[in-house]
Amino acid sequence: MRLVRQAQLILLAALLPASLTAAFHPRRPPWFQPALAQGEEMLPTVLAWGDNVLWVDARSAEEYGTDHVPGALLLNLESWDQLFPKFLDGWAPGKKVVVYCSAGTCELSREVAERLRKNGISSVFVLKGGWEAWKTRK
């Protein structure tokens, strides 16, 4: 009985620092991995692709003019006919296209990505978290 009690005390003594480390360590692994919808990618994955990415901003021209991912092209549904030829000028086969809009709940990026796929553009992805994910990157 005494041995069981000592084992419990040792376990309890180890549990406190382990819990604190798990909660507050700056390089701790995430507690959960967010689920990705089909065609979505996380920002760290996209950044690892380096220069092989063509960023597409699906927000309004006003939001794009305020701030956007460096090098991103504006391509939204409201001005599709005027902007799509400009997109084609900047696109090259083999480049991965990453579309974003204002937030993770914004559907504009999904709609633009789908329209790009229907126009024969392959390797089109939606940035999970959208512009908000970009702004909060480390």
More confident residue, 106 or 67: 67
Residue 22 located in a structural domain: no
The answer to the question of residue 110 being in a domain is yes
Q: What is the pLDDT of residue 16?
A: 77
The contacts found for 63-66 with CB under 8 angstroms, 24 or more apart, are 63/102, 63/131
Does 57 fall in a domain? yes
Mean pLDDT for the chain overall = 89
- Is residue 12 assigned to a domain? no
Whole-angstrom distance, CA of residue 126 vs CA of residue 78: 18
Work out the pLDDT band at 47, boundaries 50, 70, 90.
very high
Q: What pLDDT, on a 0 to 100 scale, did the predictor assign at position 138?
A: 64
Is 49 part of any domain? Answer: yes
For 48-71, what is the mean pLDDT?
95
* 127 located within any domain: yes
DSSP string, 5-33: HHHHHHHHHHHHHHHHHHHH-TTPPPSSP
Q: Which helix (H) or strand (E) holds 133?
A: helix 130-135
Q: Is residue 103 part of a domain?
A: yes
Query: Residue 71 is part of a domain; what is its CATH number?
Result: 3.40.250.10
Contact 57, 74 (CB under 8 A): yes
CB atoms inside a 10 Å sphere around CB 16: 9
Q: What are the tens digits of pLDDT across the range 109-122?
A: 999 999 999 999 98
Q: Is residue 68 part of a domain?
A: yes
Query: How many structural domains does the chain have?
Result: 1
